[in-house]
Amino acid sequence: MRGISLHPGERVVITPATGHYSAAAVDVAAALGARIIAASRNAAGLAKLEETYPGIVETVQLTGDVNAGGAALAAFGPVDAVVDVSPPAATGAPNFAAALSSLRDGGRVAVVGGRERRRCRFLILRL
C-alpha cells in the first residue's frame, strides 16, 4: 500500500480479495482508511469481508467474464488504485483486467501476487 501511496478516503479494488494474502491487503487498506471494493469469485469470502468491515468494504462477485466484471466494478465509479494479489493458479484469470478497467486516469496499480512471469510482470504502475 505504501508503494502506491494509498491515502484515507481513496477507493481501491483488491482482487481476488478472499485469499490469505489478499484478505490481509483488505485489512491494511481498511486500517489506512481507504474505501475498498473487494472482487473475487468466492461469495462466502466476500460476505465475510462485508460483515467484518461494514460500510468500508463493498464487494463484487466475479464470474470469469471480464466484461461483466469490469461493468460491475465500474458501477462504483473510477477507482484510485488496484491491488492484485493473485496466486500462480490465477494466471490467465480475467480479474486483473476487469479491475484495471475501473481505474481512473492517473490511478495506481500494485501487482504483488504470484502470477507466472511469462504472462504478468511484477510491478507498481502510475497510470
Please tell me the pTM assigned to this model. Answer: 0.86
CATH 3.30.1960.10 is the classification of domain 11-126: no
Q: pLDDT at residue 122 above 50? A: no
Average pLDDT over residues 63-72: 91
**According to the model, what pLDDT value does residue 121 have?**
46
68, with CB counted inside 10 A (0-12, 13-18, 19+), is middle
Dmax (CA) for the chain in angstroms is 38
- Between CA 85 and CA 104 the distance in angstroms is 20
Higher pLDDT, 41 or 115: 41
**According to the model, what pLDDT value does residue 76 have?**
94
